[in-house]
Chains A and B, each alone.
Chain A
Amino acid sequence: MEHTHSSEVLEHVHHDSSTKKIWKTFWILLGVTMVEVGLAFLHLETGFPSRVLLNAIFVGLTVVKAFYIVAEFMHLGSEIKNLIYTILLPLLLFVWFIIAFLYEGNSWKNMIKDLKPGTPIETPKAPVKEAGHGHY
């Protein structure tokens, strides 16, 4: 019973600041999502921001949300560095995966376009032109 008593005292000290932090994270996540949806609507109505800029903003804001979920809700922010690096460093492989595979996908698209039946054969011209610029 002593235990319950001391933990209750602790509760009053800690409860407020911790709970406040949790709700602050919630409002950040909700706010960021609302900004994303708002921007999507703005784009639908006015065409501003341009698709490329909008996508860049979306990806950036997604990373922001992911950071808050992992750091605050999953408490990774308050773990020791050994654990943080053990978890985050393997995820760096994603940087390579994403770049390599999206590049590959784009390259397929171009290949399919170039090899479509009836595509005028223009490709041989390009290297000749380039050679004229003194590329070699």
Chain B
Amino acid sequence: MDTAVTAKKKWWAGGYSPFNVSYGKLMMWYFLISDAFTFGALLISYGTIRFSSTSWPDPNEVFRSFPGMGHANLPLVFVSLMTFILIMSSVTMVLAVHAGHFRDRKAVAKWLTWTIVGGIAFLSCQAWEWTHLYHEGAWWGRNPFLNVDGTLASTNFTNFFFTITGFHGLHVTSGVVLNIVILANVLKGTYEERGHYEMVEKVGLYWHFVDLVWVFVFTCFYLL
């Protein structure tokens, strides 16, 4: 159907957006492409260093703790919970955008609030994980974990872990701040006056991107 429409309408003849989206939304996409390359550069440099190392710490050995479970060996469980929280908050964000299409102010406010709660829950989990690792002796420039083959590991592992999850956490933080700003505007009735809730969509795009990046961080640091 798209092709039929494209063929009939001369998208590049001028007079309207050739992308069929508003300027703001297009710019959000462009920003996300540039941000994707930033994250890509970080993750690829991590991969390069990992490929150039003869051995590397085992993530199942490093990330095996759960709050309140003491020294129980629970690899992947906590990070799975974090992944679930972030996916869930992505869903509530889509529901907020969806409610915005119907200009249902109450529902937008409700789902945005849940998205903020999810974002804060994720950040709290990350704060706990970082604190826990810090107390185990891991930080930038310090790596207490041995390689899989039992040899002493370099600090590359912790440097990359804290830098990349930290950069992602910073994105989540700014996402939460943006969501709060948007929620305040929704409650104030700014978008009701404007006649549309497109701001919710734009911030939603950013929020989903943060979730998207986490999918890759999760694979690169915890699974591979």
| A interface residues, Cβ below 8 angstroms from B | 3-4, 7-8, 10-11, 14-15, 18-19, 22-23, 25-26, 29-30, 33-34, 36-37, 40-41, 44, 55, 58-59, 62, 65-66, 69-70, 72-74, 79-83, 86-87, 90-91, 94, 97-98, 101-102, 104-106, 108-109, 112-113
Contacts and interface: CB of A to CB of B under 8 A. Distances in A.
A4 B195 CA distance: 11
A48 to B, nearest CB: 16
Contacts of B157: none
Given A80-B6, A81-B2, A83-B19, A26 B29 contact: no
A33 B84 contact: yes
B211 A83 contact: no
A82 B219 contact: no
Contact of A80 (B20, B48, B49): B20
Given A4-B103, A19-B95, A98 B80 contact: no
Contact of B3 (A4, A81, A108): A81
A113 B26 CA distance: 48
B132 interface: no
21 contacts: A3-B103, A14-B102, A18-B98, A26-B87, A26-B91, A36-B223, A44-B60, A58-B223, A65-B215, A72-B94, A73-B91, A73-B208, A74-B209, A80-B6, A81-B6, A83-B20, A90-B33, A101-B48, A104-B52, A105-B52, A108-B52
